[in-house]
Amino acid sequence: MAILVIRNAGTNNIIHNIRSTKMTYAITSKYGHTYLGNSSPSKMEVHQVSNEKTNCQLSEILSAGHAVGFSPDTLAQAHQDGYDNCAYCIGGSTR
Ligand SMILES: [Zn+2]
């Protein structure tokens, strides 16, 4: 397992430390990300940004402050972090 400390650029708060197994971090834009997670406890879905559908509501997820990126930015990592596939842009729910 990689040892990694990620700090929020604005607040300098440590988002992850070496004890963390969750490798997600808050994001404010979908650009530059392959996958975007919805961290809302009732959702916990991962979206593929390049295949975004209207029903994904990525703008709403971002504006609600629930958008997260994955490190590494892979579907496997999203699954490891407890996110399920979006039915619209990825399909094949793993739940
Ligand atoms: Zn989606």
Q: What is the pLDDT of residues 10-53, one digit of tens each?
A: 666 655 544 456 789 999 999 999 999 999 999 999 999 999 99
| Tokens describing residue 77 | 């990592």
Predicted local confidence at residue 38, as pLDDT: 98
* CA-to-CA separations, 66 to 3, 4, 27, 45, 46, in angstroms, rounded: 25, 22, 8, 11, 11
For 37, counting Cβ atoms within 10 Å of its Cβ (0-12 exposed, 13-18 middle, 19+ buried), the class is buried
For residue 74, how far is its CA from the centre of ligand 1 (angstroms)? 15
pTM: 0.76
Per residue in 48-68, pLDDT (tens digit) is 999 999 999 999 999 999 999
First to last CA, the chain: 26
| Tokens describing residue 32 | 């530059």
For residue 37, how far is its CA from the centre of ligand 1 (angstroms)? 9
For residue 55, how far is its CA from the centre of ligand 1 (angstroms)? 7
For residue 49, how far is its CA from the centre of ligand 1 (angstroms)? 8
Residue with tokens 């440590």: 14
For residue 85, how far is its CA from the centre of ligand 1 (angstroms)? 8
